[in-house]
């Protein structure tokens, strides 16, 4: 299903931009997470990115982060599990640089 979705959305995006053949989903890969620890480690890593890059002091301040929603709606056990999650084994290449206007 994802291959079909990627094909269709890539062609649609390229038609909008008049850029036939451009690679749209070339950096996408799918990972099936089977353990809560894997899920929470990746969620914690993603949530901490804007803080790690110095964009905000806490994740809840970043306007495009779901951290505030998660804190408000998740059970206290889930929130605690997220805060305990270690991200040292999550391997993600990251060459992000903060824009000077931020």
Structure tokens at 11: 């062609």
Does residue 8 belong to any structural domain of this protein? no
Does residue 74 belong to any structural domain of this protein? yes
Does residue 73 belong to any structural domain of this protein? yes
Token look-up 């993603």 returns 46
What's the pLDDT score for residue 56? 93
Does residue 6 belong to any structural domain of this protein? no
Does residue 9 belong to any structural domain of this protein? no
What letter would DSSP give residue 59? G
- If you average pLDDT over residues 57-77, what whole number do you get? 90
- If you average pLDDT over residues 83-97, what whole number do you get? 77
In the predicted structure, residue 2 carries a pLDDT above the cut 80: no
Owning domain of residue 62: 34-91
- DSSP output for 11-30: HHHHHHHT-TT--SSTT---
What's the pLDDT score for residue 33? 74
Does residue 47 belong to any structural domain of this protein? yes
Sequence-separated (6 or more) residues with CB below 8 Å from residue 32? none
Cβ contact 25:72 at 8 Å: no
Token look-up 């997470």 returns 33
pLDDT digits (tens, 9 = 90+) for 15-24: 999 988 888 8
What's the pLDDT score for residue 102? 74
Does residue 102 belong to any structural domain of this protein? no
Sequence-separated (6 or more) residues with CB below 8 Å from residue 47? 59, 65, 66, 67, 70, 82
What's the pLDDT score for residue 41? 85
Does residue 77 belong to any structural domain of this protein? yes
**How many structural domains is the chain composed of?**
1
């Amino acid at each position: 299903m994802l291959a079909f979705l990627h094909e269709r959305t890539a062609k649609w995006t390229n038609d909008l931009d008049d850029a036939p053949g451009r690679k749209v989903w070339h950096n996408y890969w799918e990972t099936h997470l089977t353990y809560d620890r894997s899920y929470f480690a990746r969620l914690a890593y993603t949530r901490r990115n804007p803080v790690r890059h110095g964009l905000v002091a806490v994740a809840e301040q970043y306007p495009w982060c779901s951290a505030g929603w998660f804190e408000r709606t998740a059970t206290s056990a889930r929130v605690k599990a997220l805060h305990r999650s270690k991200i040292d084994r999550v391997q993600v290449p990251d060459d992000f640089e903060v824009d000077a206007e931020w």
